[in-house]
């Protein structure tokens, strides 16, 4: 042990202890608040959570007993489409920014723009989507309009996360690839991306959670109506075909907003609470599953 126990050391030690206590308190407070919110949502919606009829039936307009079947499906379908579009695009942009773009004023401006876009209010994205996809392109309220609006909302965050993940891969991994006579593309694709994969997966999950629970960007793009779905209908142009991307599609989050703002069904509080609980459980499950899959994938890619 150090023999000198001067006053400086003692005060530093006190500060260390104090910091530990303060940090623990902050984390404790945050945890309590978050757990309270989650438990509150789950408890108030618990009645509906295990009600198969609620989970599969279509919503009622005027009488009680409606379900959220189409909304549940729409939420997942929109999330899937959004990720299918936004992940490859973001990956490309992030790889370019992290590996190819020369340092210079243009790159700096691009990076700043992406940071600014990532804090763009989602209602602005929604209204832009309404003006451009719904009206100018004439796609109407449709899953495609919604997915593209969500993509715009998602890309800046994904680009930043993936770029940071790539930049966190040590320089010597790049050098190793290049020194073996591999091209920059081979080095990026086969060495850097697999190394950065765990961080990329985490980023995609976090952004997916945001997309899944997003309402404002969808109200004016994917619409507020959920046509009844017939899973046996494979005619991609029919409104009742679940896979048709040109039909309007209300999601869980939009449903909560809508039923609370203009719902007239007698059991609207119960439906709203139930929907919130389902949304919550979906996001939790999704997180756990995706994290698990990410770890498996990382292990397979890196043999660790």
Residues lying near other proteins in the complex (CB under 8 A) are found at 1, 102-103, 170, 172-183, 186, 190-191, 194-195, 301-304
Nearer to other proteins, 140 or 194 (CB): 194
Q: How far is the CB of 195 from other proteins (least distance, A)?
A: 5
First to last CA, the chain: 38
Q: How far is the CB of 303 from other proteins (least distance, A)?
A: 4
Q: How far is the CB of 96 from other proteins (least distance, A)?
A: 16
Q: How far is the CB of 187 from other proteins (least distance, A)?
A: 10
Q: How many other CB atoms are there within 10 angstroms of residue 40's CB atom?
A: 14
Is residue 253 within 8 A of residue 75, CB to CB? The reply is yes
Would you state the structure tokens that stand for residue 25, as one six-digit string? 């308190």
Rounded CA-CA distance 263/87 in Å is 35
Nearer to other proteins, 27 or 179 (CB): 179
Q: How far is the CB of 61 from other proteins (least distance, A)?
A: 55
DSSP 231: T
At residue 1, the 3 state secondary structure works out as coil
Task: Give ∠ CA 40-44-49 in degrees, rounded to 5.
Answer: 115
Nearer to other proteins, 186 or 230 (CB): 186
Nearer to other proteins, 45 or 177 (CB): 177
Residue 52 makes CB contacts below 8 A (sequence gap 6+) with none
Rounded CA-CA distance 126/134 in Å is 10
Would you state the structure tokens that stand for residue 110, as one six-digit string? 């691009």
Would you state the structure tokens that stand for residue 176, as one six-digit string? 């190793």
Q: How far is the CB of 3 from other proteins (least distance, A)?
A: 9
Rounded CA-CA distance 65/184 in Å is 59
Residue 158 makes CB contacts below 8 A (sequence gap 6+) with 86, 87, 90, 91, 94, 203, 204, 207
Q: How far is the CB of 180 from other proteins (least distance, A)?
A: 4
Q: How many other CB atoms are there within 10 angstroms of residue 101's CB atom?
A: 16
Nearer to other proteins, 68 or 192 (CB): 192
Nearer to other proteins, 102 or 105 (CB): 102
Would you state the structure tokens that stand for residue 202, as one six-digit string? 């985490």
Nearer to other proteins, 2 or 6 (CB): 2
Is residue 160 within 8 A of residue 115, CB to CB? The reply is yes
């Amino acid at each position: 042990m150090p023999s000198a126990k001067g006053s400086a050391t003692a005060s530093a030690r006190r500060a260390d202890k104090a910091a530990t206590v303060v940090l623990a308190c902050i984390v404790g407070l945050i945890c309590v608040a978050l757990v309270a919110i989650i438990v509150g949502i789950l408890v108030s919606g618990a009645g509906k959570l295990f009600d198969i009829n609620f989970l599969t039936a279509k919503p009622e307009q005027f009488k009680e007993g409606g379900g959220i079947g189409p909304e549940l499906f729409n939420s997942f379908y929109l999330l899937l489409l959004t990720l299918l579009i936004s992940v490859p695009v973001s990956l490309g942009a992030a790889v370019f920014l992290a590996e190819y773009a020369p340092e210079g004023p243009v790159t700096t401006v691009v990076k700043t723009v992406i940071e600014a876009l990532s804090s763009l209010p989602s209602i602005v994205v929604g209204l832009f989507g309404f003006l451009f996809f719904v009206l100018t392109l004439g796609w109407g309220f449709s899953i495609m309009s919604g997915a593209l609006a969500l993509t715009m909302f998602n890309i800046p965050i994904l680009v930043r996360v993936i770029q940071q993940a790539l930049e966190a891969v040590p320089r010597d991994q790049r050098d190793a690839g290049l020194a073996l006579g591999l091209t920059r593309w081979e080095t990026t694709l086969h060495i850097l991306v697999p190394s950065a994969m765990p961080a990329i997966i985490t980023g995609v999950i976090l952004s997916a959670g945001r997309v899944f629970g997003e309402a404002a960007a969808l109200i004016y793009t994917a619409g507020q109506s959920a046509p009844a779905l017939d899973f046996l209908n494979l005619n991609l142009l029919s409104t009742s075909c679940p896979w048709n991307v040109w039909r309007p599609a209300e999601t869980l989050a939009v449903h909560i907003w809508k039923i609370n703002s203009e719902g007239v069904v007698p059991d609207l509080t119960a439906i709203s609470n139930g929907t919130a609980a389902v949304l919550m459980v979906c996001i939790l499950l999704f997180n756990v599953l995706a994290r698990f899959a990410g770890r498996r994938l990382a292990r397979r890619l890196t043999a660790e």
